[in-house]
Structure 1
Amino acid sequence: MTIVNDPAAEPGIRGWLTDPEPTSRTQARIGNLYRGWRSFVRNPLAMVGFTIVVLLLLAAAFAPWLATHNPIVGGDLRTQRLLPPGDEFWLGTDDQARDIYSRLVYGSRLTLLVVVLVTVIAMPIGLLVGTVAGYMGGWIDALLMRITDIFLAFPRLVLALAFVAALGPGIENAIIAIAITAWPPYARIARAETLTVRNSDFIAAVQLQGASSGRIIWKHIVPLCLSSVIVRVTLDMAGIILTAAGLGFLGLGAQPPLPEWGAMIASGRRYIVDQWWVATMPGVAIFVVSLGFNLLGDGLRDVLDPKAAK
């Protein structure tokens, strides 16, 4: 009797996850996630981005415990205004004697709020427009893509400024304005993915079974487009943060005294020469978080879209 040593056959839970012949759909899905995670952790830059994003999430979740001072109410203007970084105020104070570190910690909540809500609004719109245009074709495709081209013709920040000017300043209107300007790239990607699969044999088989166009798009095409769109969304999160910071810098985003990073830079630009920390610290926070999302997006692209990594 000959025993063949299969390197893929491993005992225990790891063997179950890496089984090349899964016995159930659940095992196949969990196994794919496990293999994707193993590939992801082998990318050191992706892990750096993942760590930054996790730290941002922890800072937002535990802000009341991490902050050392009230982020809204300042201290004594006579003795605590524009203090440099030190033992009591780790990153210094601003012109209202407020602790910059505490404001950055609470500002992470606003940053995540903008990123999450813009993603929740913009990604479904882009997926819907792109998949419908790619699958239906004809005048529907032409109409939807020309609308998409109109949005793409304007720089995102300029278009967001126009919408915020029409809606009025505020964090809610800023989120709506950024979401309105963020969906066109997702629609383009979803349309391109749809065009590659709409004439496939499995789509023809589903059509022969009598499935409606809406069911085909939702059940069979959208899942195939999802990975590419998720990668693009992750890479766009840095741009979303910068756009939100730009609106806050111009006074059209979160309004004082909310600790929004762009507004903090705007209030500290008058002291950039002598009290550099007032504007520099929120600028560093924006840079680090944007870098983290970019690195995370690159790592997800390598895992979810291997063709793009080659």
Structure 2
Amino acid sequence: MSTTLAQWLTTDRPASRLQARFVRLNLSFRALVANRLALVGLLIVLALVAMALIGPFFAGSPTDQVLANRLLPPSADHWFGTDELGRDILSRVVHGSQITVRIVLMVSLIVGPVGLTIGIVAGYFGGWVDAALMRITDIFLSLPRLVLALAFVAALGTGINNAIIAIAVTSWPPYARLARAETLSIRNSDFVRMAELQGASTLRILFNHIAPLCFASVVVRLTFDMSGTILIAAGLGFLGLGAQPPQPEWGLMVAAGRQYVLDQWWVATIPGIAIFIASLGFNLLGDGLRDVFDARSS
């Protein structure tokens, strides 16, 4: 059965569109795994997702306070030590991964479709539509993401949900620019002209013919930007504008432990290392995906 499946996935003459998609997916996965750094990034991301999904079932409560255990160093009882309120840092890091994955996932689900839609509409129609949408995009691009996110959070109020909205509002312009550039390169292609001559609607052309060709580039850019999303979310938490105590958000944990960094280094360092590893994983994975999907790099 395994040999038959392997042949089905590696054939150079797919019998159906579904098989062709699986063959292409198999080739892409093999190319990704062949890149060692990309494989490391993929394993880090999978470990982060697994920790967010099943880790909290095995870790203790992140809010249990035992003042007698304040600022204990890493040991067999508390692998990552305890914080200023006697809470287990390992448990808080594990539960904090849920917040990180949630922020990354929600921001990606918002900025990807929004940026893709704006970009393909601007690139396909051109003229005043393109000019208007790109000038709005330029306004957002001219401002630093973190500063703009701080402004939106200050207007919306603190909290994880408002932080997600603020990060998403400031993150969509690069995707719009990328999708527009891709659309400009293919809008006069023969298959697009053929679809127009056959009477296909504008929406069908945009989302059935153009958007799929822009999708790979957007996914690669999304993967790269996930590390930036983690850093901005941690920055908002550090400044007290994102997650609020007693939530175990990594940036908030770093902020709470900064006054103990010289004597009890683990309080701020451990969540800082978690931020670094998660960001590194997405960067390595994004670099591998770029090599897989960018035909010009092969």
TM-score normalised over the length of structure 1: 0.94
SS of residue paired to 2:263 = coil
What's 1:265 paired with?
254
**Is the CA contact (8 Å cut-off) linking 1:248 and 1:255 kept in structure 2?**
yes
What's 1:74 paired with?
65
Q: Deviations over 1:72-126 (max 9, x none)?
A: 1211x1x200111011111011111100000000000000000000001111110
What's 2:244 paired with?
255
What's 1:21 paired with?
13
- Give the paired residue count: 297
What is the CA distance between 1:303 and its match in structure 2? 1.1
Matches within 5 A, 1:101-112: 101-112=90-101
What's 1:5 paired with?
none
**Is the CA contact (8 Å cut-off) linking 1:59 and 1:66 kept in structure 2?**
no
What's 1:236 paired with?
225
Higher-Rg structure is: 1
SS of residue paired to 1:126 = helix
What is the CA distance between 1:23 and its match in structure 2? 1.3
SS of residue paired to 1:275 = coil
Q: Deviations over 1:3-59 (max 9, x none)?
A: xxxxxxxx6222221111111111111101111111111111111001111111111
Unpaired runs of at least 5, structure 2: none
What's 1:32 paired with?
24
Counterpart-to-counterpart distance in 1, 2:140 and 2:190: 34
Matches within 5 A, 1:153-168: 153-168=142-157
What's 2:43 paired with?
51
Counterpart-to-counterpart distance in 2, 1:55 and 1:293: 12
**Is the CA contact (8 Å cut-off) linking 1:66 and 1:105 kept in structure 2?**
no
Counterpart-to-counterpart distance in 1, 2:173 and 2:56: 37
Unpaired runs of at least 5, structure 1: 1-10
What's 2:168 paired with?
179
Of the candidates 302, 306, 310, which is equivalent to residue 291 of structure 2?
302
Counterpart-to-counterpart distance in 1, 2:58 and 2:44: 16
- Specify the code of the residue in structure 2 equivalent to 1:71: P
What is the CA distance between 1:183 and its match in structure 2? 0.5
Counterpart-to-counterpart distance in 2, 1:196 and 1:64: 47
**Is the CA contact (8 Å cut-off) linking 1:40 and 1:47 kept in structure 2?**
yes
**Is the CA contact (8 Å cut-off) linking 1:169 and 1:254 kept in structure 2?**
yes
What is the CA distance between 1:209 and its match in structure 2? 1.0
TM-score normalised over the length of structure 2: 0.98
**Is the CA contact (8 Å cut-off) linking 1:130 and 1:188 kept in structure 2?**
yes
Of the candidates 122, 130, 134, which is equivalent to residue 133 of structure 1?
122
Of the candidates 9, 33, 36, which is equivalent to residue 41 of structure 1?
33
Greater than 3 Å deviation, 4+ residue runs: none
Matches within 5 A, 1:144-223: 144-223=133-212
Matches within 5 A, 1:277-288: 277-288=266-277
More helix by share: 2
The percent identity for this pair of structures is 61
Counterpart-to-counterpart distance in 1, 2:238 and 2:295: 38
Counterpart-to-counterpart distance in 2, 1:264 and 1:60: 17
Of the candidates 85, 92, 106, which is equivalent to residue 96 of structure 1?
85
What is the CA distance between 1:64 and its match in structure 2? 2.7
- Specify the code of the residue in structure 2 equivalent to 1:221: I
